[in-house]
Amino acid sequence: DSGVTQTPKHLITATGQRVTLRCSPRSGDLSVYWYQQSLDQGLQFLIQYYNGEERAKGNILERFSAQQFPDLHSELNLSSLELGDSALYFCASSGWWGTGANVLTFGAGSRLTVL
């Protein structure tokens, strides 16, 4: 599958814990985006990386961090988890020029439940 791959699909953990969500972009895409989707909140932009460097930052909490590795996969780290962090976390990727730029291809999402 050459699309965007996210793991794990589902994750249940306890408050105070730390989790890592992983994303592999579509083949050839250099940009990776992370979004959080909570009930009634729509898609909240968290952060964007381009070829390993942070490109744009949204409403990402200090407890959250991310990085993009040389092989272009990205990880979103969520620490000191709170109940309110329960959400669907989407990763998306895009090309870097021409008609592919700014067009996002989404993964299936990682559903995080904090108990």
Partner 1 sequence: AQRVTQPEKLLSVFKGAPVELKCNYSYSGSPELFWYVQYSRQRLQLLLRHISRESIKGFTADLNKGETSFHLKKPFAQEEDSAMYYCALSGGYQKVTFGTGTKLQVIP
Site residues, partner 1 (CB under 8 A): 31, 33, 35, 40-43, 45, 48, 50, 55-56, 58, 90, 92, 94, 101-109
Question: At closest approach, how far in Å is the CB of 100 from partner 1?
Answer: 11
Nearer to partner 1, 61 or 106 (CB): 106
Looking at the Cβ atoms of 16 and 96, the one nearer to partner 1 is: 96
Q: Determine whether 4 is exposed, middle or buried from the number of CB atoms within 10 Å of its CB (0-12, 13-18, 19+).
A: buried
DSSP conformation class of 8: -
Beta carbon of residue 83, minimum distance to partner 1 (angstroms, whole number): 21
Give DSSP secondary structure letters for 26-95.
PTT--EEEEEEEETTTEEEEEEEEETTEEEEE-S--TTEEEEE-TTS-EEEEE-S--GGG-EEEEEEEEB
Q: Using the minimum distance from each CB to partner 1, give the nearer residue, 13 or 50.
A: 50
Of 13 and 108, which CB lies nearer to partner 1 in the complex structure? 108
